[in-house]
Structure 1
Amino acid sequence: MKTVQLKRKKLEEWEYVGEKITLVKPLVLVFGNRFLLEDSNIYEEVRALFPDGELVFGSTSGDISGDMVNEDSVTITAIEFEKTQMVIKTGNVKDEQKDDYHTGYDLLKQFDLDKLQFMFIVAEGSFLNGSDLTKGMTEALQNKVLITGGLCADDTRFEKTLSSYNENPKEGEIVAVGLYGESLEATFSIYGGWTPFGPKRIVTKSQGNILYELDGQPALDLYKTYLGEKSKDLPASALLYPLNVTAKEGEQSIVRSILNIDEEANAIILAGDIPEKAKVQLMMTNVDHIANASERAARQAMEGRKTTPDLALLISCIGRKLVLDQRVEEEVEEVIEVLGDATTISGFYSYGEIAPFHGESSCKLHNQTMTITLLSEV
């Protein structure tokens, strides 16, 4: 496996990060600021750099290359697989004929399961129900293939996100990259580092990913009471206080970020499902807990590997980035400390992370985690 990385700020030229080498038919991951990806020339720019590449675009809340978290920029990571075959398909959640579950199901059902080793997803992040999407994906692949990836982002604006395959980035798109061949080794892990606090509340009214009532009270009013002065900065301020959701006794709880609010309905719109009768608590964290969680995720991803990873795909949540603030590179540095300097680091800050729980195989939507996928060829 060979890799090349470049980055570019607005009005600047492309700059290589590390050695410039020529790749043959690479997978080209283009992560960056939404406004820069809206430039009508972006596709042709990247195509000129990689004439025979398969180009996958995704907007972010910060893109990762090496030990840097880049703001207001576009980062390219191009990967040439030497023994692994690649198949890429797309779907769009704006298709009115399908719900999010069937969009995910129908998209991944197009892939042949024979020798399929890994599926990487770059998905619309501003208005889809990520829980339904990942349920459909898991069903389509019969829970037999590792699926990881993330929902695209738009900094803290929450206006729209963009993604695409071999065309200019657009809204609603989901890109699925399937990697085939027994020579590919793919391992992963996720970890959060957030702590529940305050009283547990019961979800008394919800629909899909919209939360209307907790303990019979309007959810948005109650949440604003907890936030106090910070409520005036919603929905961005909600990223600092996600919800810990336990759907059933004995099941692992899952963290849910608040993506938007509905003042008229007095409701909260979450990144994924929040079922009625689920128990909910607020969560908080600090810089040290987040950095330690990233280190732990890296160590778990390395467990049992046969080879040194050539590539690490890091998908971290925008809420973690807001907590880290000026120290945002620390969680990436913790990962590099574990993996070593020989591994190419790529990724982005997202509106949601896609992966199973550590030690499980069923793909789920997560929030506020560091999700690490390690790839290499034997």
Structure 2
Amino acid sequence: MKIEQKQWTAEGQWAASGDNGVSKSANLVLAFGSRGILSDSARYDEIRAFYPDAHILCGTTSGEILGIEVSDDTIALTAIEFESTTLKTISLRISEQENSFEAGKTLGNELLSDDLVHVFVLSDGLQVNGSELVKGISEALPNTISVTGGLAGDAANFEKTLVGLDTAPTDGNIVGIGLYGSSLKIGHGTQGGWDPFGPERIVTKSSSNVLYELDGQSALELYKTYLGDKAAELPGSGLLFPLAIKETADSRPVVRTLLAVDEGEHSMTFAGDLPEGAVVQLMKANFDKLIDASADAAEGSLEKIGSGAQLAILVSCVGRKLVLDQRIEEEVEEVQAVLGDDTKITGFYSYGEISPLNDGFNCDLHNQTMTITTFNEN
């Protein structure tokens, strides 16, 4: 595997960091950037000129990761030449699918093959129900196939997210990249580091990812009570207080981020489903635990590949970025400290992270985590 990286900034345009001369031979390019920049099709045209024969995956972000640097309003580009691993891609428009679950099934079925090793998914972060998408993918694929990726971001605007495969990115798209062959090893790790507080409550009224009532009371009014003065800043302030959800009393909790509120309906829309009967609990930030969790995720991603990673894709949550603020690069530095200086790092801040839970291969949607995928090609 050969890797080269570039960064686009308004001041300097394109600048290379680690040019390995793979331009003509790259078969996969990842380009993560802000909506304002990636919405200009000239950027895609420039990337295509750099890498004429590669599959190019573009997605908008709530912040870009390149090396140990976290940036806004840039493009973080990573070009990869796999030497023996083969690729197959699929791009779907959610408007042409029955629903997010069926879109996931279609994606998984299209990529399924005897030598499939891994699927990387990048999806629209607002028009797609991420948890239903992931359930559909999991139904189509055996649990021996790992699936990772994320939901595209739009800073903290929550207006529109863009994804594109081999074309300038637009909204409403879901892209899957299948990686095939015996020479590729994949690792993955995901950790949060948030502290639960307040009582556990039961979801008593919900529809898919829209929450109406907890313990028979208005969920929105309860939530506002906990937020205090920050309630006036909803939905953005909701990123600071995610929900931990257990679908059954015995299941492991996953974290769900607030995306929108509807004052008229007294409802809250989250990045994943909250089924009736589920147990939820509010969470709040613990700075040191958030940063330590990134190191734990990196260690988990290395356990599964048995040696140093050549490439790591980091998908972290916009909520973590807002909370950590000036300390945000510390979580990426913690990852590099674990992976080592030889690992090329890229990634983005997202509206949702896709990865198996650490103790199994079943794919899940997460929020407010640092999720890492590591790659090593023999």
State the TM-score bracket (shorter-chain normalisation).
over 0.9
Secondary structure of 2:13 counterpart = coil
Q: How does 1:14-53 map to 2 (within 5 A)?
A: 14-23=14-23, 24-53=25-54
* Structure 2 CA distance for aligned equivalents of residues 86 and 53 of structure 1: 10
Pick which of 11-20 and 164-173 moved more: 11-20
2:199 partner SS: strand
What's the secondary structure of 2:197's corresponding residue?
strand
- Over the aligned positions, Cα root-mean-square deviation in angstroms equals 1.1
1:181 to 2:187 alignment: no
Q: Deviations over 1:275-324 (max 9, x none)?
A: 11111111012221111000111111112533321000110011111111
Question: Who is 2:350 aligned against?
Answer: 350
1:295 corresponds to which residue? 295
Query: Secondary structure of 2:374's partner?
Result: strand
Q: Unmatched 5+ residue regions in structure 1? A: none
| SS of equivalent to 2:111 | coil
Letter in 2 for 1:262: D
Task: Provide the aligned length of Structure 1 versus Structure 2.
Answer: 377
Residue identity matched to 1:172: G
Are 1:61 and 2:56 matched, yes or no? no
Matched with 1:214 is 214
The equivalent residue for 2:250 is: 250
Distance (whole Å) between structure 1 residues aligned to residue 164 and residue 190 of structure 2 = 25
Q: Distance in 2 between matches of 1:304 and 1:53?
A: 28
User: For the Cα contact (< 8 Å) 1:286–1:323, is it kept in 2?
Assistant: no
Amino acid at match of 2:91: T
Deviation, structure 1 residue 366: 0.5
The residue type equivalent to 2:47 in the other structure is: V
1:73 is matched with: 74
What TM-score does the superposition give when structure 2 sets the normalisation length? 0.97
Unpaired runs of 5+ in structure 2? none
| 1:11, distance to aligned residue in structure 2 (A) | 5.2
Contact 1:63 1:69 in 2 (8 A): yes
Asked if the contact 1:205/1:211 (under 8 Å) is kept, the reply is yes
In the aligned structure 1, how far is the partner of 2:255 from the partner of 2:72? 26
* CA–CA distance in structure 2, aligned partners of residues 104 and 216 of structure 1: 33
Distance 1:306 1:254, change over 3 A: closer
What is the CA deviation profile of residues 338-378 of structure 1, one whole-angstrom value per residue up to 9, with x for unaligned ones? 11000000110000000110020111100011111110111
Alignment of 1:1-378 (within 5 A): 1-10=1-10, 12-23=12-23, 24-95=25-96, 97-378=97-378
CA distance in 2, matches of 1:113, 1:359: 24
Alpha-carbon distance in 1 for matches of 2:11, 2:123? 27
Q: Distance in 2 between matches of 1:327 and 1:305?
A: 29
Q: Which amino acid aligns with 1:10?
A: A
Runs of 4+ in 1 over 2 A off after TM superposition: 304-307
Normalised by the size of structure 1, how large is the TM-score? 0.97
